[in-house]
Amino acid sequence: MTQPATATTRRTPLSRDRVLRAAVDVADAHGVDGVTMRSVGESLGVEGMALYRHVAGKDELLDGLVSTVLEEVTAAATDLPTSVDHGEDWRPVARALMLRAREVLLQHPWAPALIATRGTTGGVTLPWYEQLCGILFSAGFSDDLVHHALHALGSRALGFSTELFAADSPAEEDPATAVERVRELTATMPNIGRVVASMTHDATGTLGGCDDQAEFEFGLDVVLDGLEARRASGAGA
């Protein structure tokens, strides 16, 4: 049962980087609550106490988790443009940068919430912001408007939240109970009832079927269009 790791694996010395990568794997598999000094150690074939050689403690390990994921975000953007040509629409380029960030974060569903608990992201996101700045400046943004855009887009890309709106619609729901639920809702909350009713009329016919990706892109386009309007009109704020 106690399968000893191969000699090679056993001998590979621990390092801060290996610890953090192992912790990310544990979080991906068991959520952030599953990340324990002992569990991360076990996934490395080592006692949990051995980790203290390479990270100061649990808190720094969690910070490291955030940094590791955000480095992944930054790395995933390196094959995207860092500027636009004169007269070129900057929005598709910034859009791609934003969607790429989202792709990475969706692979680590625990990450946005953990990022939110940390006060800051440290410096690891700077290259990503530098890239975004490059795109915006080359498109003719003013200093102030770039600053505002960094806040508006940065919080959207790195701190996006999913499904706050959902009112616990059970994954598998009987159509009859769904209709009944809409009826109840409509009785006391006519406006929400109207929205939900319009959703049930769509192709799928299912309730609570919000397309997170589509909603993210809608909100993103609203922001991109709004920033472009302000750039074109020369408004600093």
Partner DNA sequence: ACCTGAACACCGTTCAAGT
Q: Which residues bind its own copies (CB under 8 A)?
A: 112-113, 115-117, 119-123, 125-127, 129-130, 133-134, 137, 143-144, 146-148, 150-152, 154-155, 158-168, 185, 189, 191-192, 194-195, 197-199, 210, 215, 218-219, 221-223, 225-227, 229-230, 237
Stretch that binds DNA, among 57-65, 131-139, 178-186, 211-219 (CB under 7 A): 57-65
Q: Does residue 48 bind DNA (CB under 7 A)?
A: yes
Instruction: Tell me phi and psi for residue 108, to 5 degrees.
Output: -130, 75
Q: How far apart are CA 187 and CA 32, in angstroms?
A: 40
Amino acid at 94: A
Shortest Cβ 230–its own copies spacing (Å): 8
Q: Does residue 50 bind DNA (CB under 7 A)?
A: yes
Q: Does residue 57 bind DNA (CB under 7 A)?
A: yes
Choosing from 3, 7, 13, 172, the residue that interacts with DNA (CB under 7 A) is: 13
Choosing from 16, 21, 58, 148, the residue that interacts with DNA (CB under 7 A) is: 58
Tokens found for residue 93: 């380029």
Q: Report in angstroms the alpha-carbon separations of 12 from 7, 16, 54, 199.
A: 9, 13, 14, 54
